[in-house]
Amino acid sequence: MKALKIAIFGGKMDAIYHYTSRENWKQIQKDGILLPKTYDKDNNGRWDVFLVGLEMPKDKRWIQAGLWYELEKYTMMDLLLEIPILDTERGFVREQWHYSPKGLIERHGINLIPWRDDFELEEFGYDGRKANELSAESYRDYLNSAVPLAEYDGSFRVPEFWLQQETPVEKIRVVGGRE
């Protein structure tokens, strides 16, 4: 199956970038296929598994939004894989800015992501319940920002790509990683 292109920024995008560990890459090579592992709802509201990635390697927008640390924390980032987009009908894009540290600061004056220390909330005049409400509101905005991949126009500040596809290992390129 040939990679498909989606039109964004007046150009064409035919791949996403996905970080993984060396251990996971060995398993992908052994299995001959990259299977999606992140659970979420599809475009029709049904739970399914997805492969999540970025529009470009070391995406500066993710760094500027304060999300790079979180990405490193959850992905290991040993290897950077270029994953071709094989199916534009079963994926979507979300605006990660809504629930990023910088996005929360812009909107509420403080990073309200739940793992923040309580003393910081008190310093800014937030009680825990109010902080949780505002955090949940921003998270809902993130979830509700989903746009079908085929309709994405490149307008998000911090796009996060969700593909619902199984990718044969021979279509994946290792394009970077840690030494």
Residue 74: phi, psi to the nearest 5?
Answer: -100, -15
Q: What is the pTM of this model?
A: 0.84
> pLDDT tens digits, residue range 77-102?
899 999 999 988 888 999 999 999 99
- The number of CA neighbours under 13 Å toward the Cβ of 104 is 24
Report the candidate in 65, 10, 27 with the shortest Cα–Cα distance to residue 172: 27
| Residue with the larger pLDDT of the pair 111 and 31 | 31
Structure confidence at residue 121 (pLDDT): 59
Neighbour order of strands in the sheet with 159-163: 38-41, 47-53, 159-163, 92-95, 147-148
pLDDT of the residue at 9: 44
Assign 28 to helix, strand or coil. Answer: helix
Residue of 146, 158, 162, 161 lying closest to 59 (CA atoms)? 158
Q: pLDDT by residue (tens digit) across 150-167?
A: 899 999 999 999 999 999
